């Protein structure tokens, strides 16, 4: 017997209308690389979830979930999360737990591929 595994954090597939609505709500054009990645699997658990960088405390950051694209979930919750965690406007949160985040930084950028 075969068992199907699923990721409870993976969202339903999205279409171009949802993508346009999210971009309009957030006031940004999401990077095409992120959009294409998320089209394959709309968010969910990350297999290789350690980010090593001198820019983060202790040199590493664990990110368990990559936020997918949905109106009321994933990055659709971005503006609420920015307010809830008192984060600066202009960040698009791709994953995190409230204390640490991986984000796209649109604060001083108006192109299609902001720094991460």
Contacts of 57 (CB under 8 A, 6+ apart): none
Task: Give the three-state DSSP class for 105.
Answer: strand
Q: What is the b/e burial string over 100-116, where b = at least 16 CB atoms within 10 angstroms of the residue's CB? A: ebbbbebeeeeeeebee
Alpha-carbon distance of 66 to 73, in angstroms, equals: 12
pLDDT tens-digit map of 48-93: 778 787 877 777 877 888 999 999 999 999 999 999 999 999 999 9
- pLDDT cut 90: percent of the chain above it: 56
Upper half-sphere CA count for residue 107 (Cβ side, 13 Å): 9
């Amino acid at each position: 017997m075969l068992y199907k595994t699923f990721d409870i954090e993976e969202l339903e597939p999205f279409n171009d209308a949802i993508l346009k609505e999210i971009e309009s709500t957030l006031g940004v054009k999401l990077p095409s690389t992120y959009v294409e990645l998320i089209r394959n699997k709309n968010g969910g658990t990350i297999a290789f979830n350690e980010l090593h960088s001198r820019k983060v405390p202790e040199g590493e950051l664990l990110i368990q979930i990559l936020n997918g694209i949905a109106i009321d979930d994933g990055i659709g919750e971005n503006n609420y999360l920015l307010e809830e965690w008192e984060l600066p406007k202009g960040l698009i949160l791709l994953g995190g737990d409230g204390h640490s985040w991986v984000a796209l930084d649109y604060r001083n950028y108006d192109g299609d591929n902001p720094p991460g």
